[in-house]
Amino acid sequence: GYDPASGDRTDGKEGACVHNVERIPEFIDMAFRYAENGRPGPIYLELPCDVLNATADMTKVKRYSSVVEKRIVDLESAEKIVNMLKEAKNPLVIAGSGAYYSDAGAEITELIEKTGMPVFTMAGSRGLVPDTHPQCFESSLAIRPGASFMANIGTDMVLFLGGRLSLFYIFGDIFPSTAKFVQVDIEPEEIGRNRSINLGVVSDIKALVKELNRIIDAKKLGGEFKKQFAPWMEYLRKSDAEGKEQAKPMWESKDVPIHPLRLAREINDFMDREDDIVVADGGDTSTWMGMTRTVKRPGTYLDYGLYGCLAVGLPYANAAKIKNPDKRVLLVIGDGSVGFNFMEFQTAIKNNLPIVVVVANDTLWGMIAHSQTLRLGHAIKDGTDIGVVHYEKLVEALGGFGAFVEKPEDIRPAIEAAFKSGKVACVNVMVDPSTISPGSVALANLGGYKVG
């Protein structure tokens, strides 16, 4: 027969079903232990109705308390990495979610400062090394205005710490085939996914980087590395400045309808506190925000990640506000995504969670419409047109604050008023439906559509 618990292992880290009422506490303890150790992940625990309604004999209930030491480190590989750095001219450190879960921010910062290497962050590690650090070039995504694209195609050695070689890196193909690639991950199965790896290291990232720092100090290599990598750093700083200069006309656009990058820049500039939390949801909308957001602290920028599940934004924002009641929480979401879980506005209002939601309203399923246009020459309007919807009026009807924005100069005042209201707020911003994001271009290049 069908085991519902086993079916969930494709979506979570593990699944289990409890068949004995006395074992419920044991399985709950086990679920938390599985979730938190190694690579963290969700656990599915099935509790059938007959088990939940049974009476337990408390003398048979067992509780287990275990501490798992996760700081495994491959000492031999650490030596090899240092030796590989001696041969490199254009090294690149990319910190992924695994570095965040390992709490390796201080160690990675020490490594780049000791050696003069550049660092980029991705996914959960955004802000692990603050974007404002002079050696951090922000997100490693190639579409980000700045140095990321030139770094990815120009590197001769990548130190990949707890990330995934996913679509965001063209499954590893964005890096030169000749570049030496070091992949460090707590999960052995992740090593070598989508690309040949010169050195795969199964290790806790914090412990490994700490060992790298120790070896570099012991061998007094810091000064040598800084001199060795100085031209590369100078090149990336120049590329970063040039890339941002090219994006400046869009970030500062005065067009009506509003350019989505202008909206993203207004949000970024307003949410300027180190502990401000920004959530991004939607295809094009997450792309524009990801191209713009400056992240200064880990855990303060949330999006749907590799799973690509639209409409997580409102639940994310509500959860962020519950966890951080004294911090400002802003969600920017597309008008397609916001419709999925719209009644989570009521959840926020009912629980007094004063989040501010900015709807980037292009009246379309924008990423789908634009990718269809690029592939087919036209969008299939019956499946992509949404039309003008006054989401702010719906939120007002629920008891929240609403604002409608059509001009770029009105964005900041509307967001200010939303936060000042102290209510759950919706700022509905009309953005240009004709502007095509790099994310839509990427989607259009994946396969083809068959019509008719």
What are the residue ranges spanned by the domains of the chain? Answer: 4-60, 75-244, 252-444
Q: Give the separation between CA 295 and CA 280, rounded to whole angstroms.
A: 13
Is the pTM value of this prediction over 0.95? no
Amino acid at 379: A
E strand intervals along 254-405: 277-281, 301-302, 329-334, 356-361, 401-405
As to burial, measured by CB atoms within 10 angstroms (0-12 exposed, 13-18 middle, 19+ buried), residue 278 is buried
Bridge partners of 182, per DSSP, are 159, 199
- Report the pLDDT value the prediction gives residue 79, as an integer from 0 to 100: 98
Q: Give the separation between CA 202 and CA 75, rounded to whole angstroms.
A: 11
pLDDT of 450 strictly over 50: no
Bridge partners of 279, per DSSP, are 302, 331
* Secondary structure letter of residue 126 according to DSSP: B
Q: How far is CA 96 from the centre of its chain?
A: 9
Ordered DSSP codes for 162-217 = S----GGGGGGTTS-TTSEEEEEES-GGGTTTTS--SEEEES-HHHHHHHHHHHHH
- The predicted model gives 260-282 an average pLDDT of 98
Q: How many CB atoms lie within 10 A of CB 166?
A: 16
Q: Are strands 14-17 and 425-430 parallel, antiparallel or unpaired?
A: unpaired
- Report the pLDDT value the prediction gives residue 451, as an integer from 0 to 100: 43
**Contact by Cβ (8 Å): 361, 431:** yes
Q: Give the separation between CA 300 and CA 289, rounded to whole angstroms.
A: 13
Q: Could you tell me the two tokens for 242?
A: 């040039």
Its CATH class, for the domain covering 75-244, is alpha beta
Phi, psi of 389 (to 5 degrees): -120, 130
Stated length of the chain:
452
Its CATH class, for the domain covering 252-444, is alpha beta
Model confidence pLDDT, tens digit, residues 116-172: 999 999 999 999 999 999 999 999 988 899 999 999 999 999 999 999 998 889 889
Model confidence pLDDT, tens digit, residues 99-118: 999 999 999 999 999 999 99
Greater pLDDT, 65 or 27: 27
Confidence of residue 68 (pLDDT cuts 50, 70, 90): low
Whether the domain at 75-244 and the domain at 252-444 fall into the same CATH topology:
yes
- The predicted model gives 13-38 an average pLDDT of 91
Q: Are strands 425-430 and 356-361 parallel, antiparallel or unpaired?
A: parallel
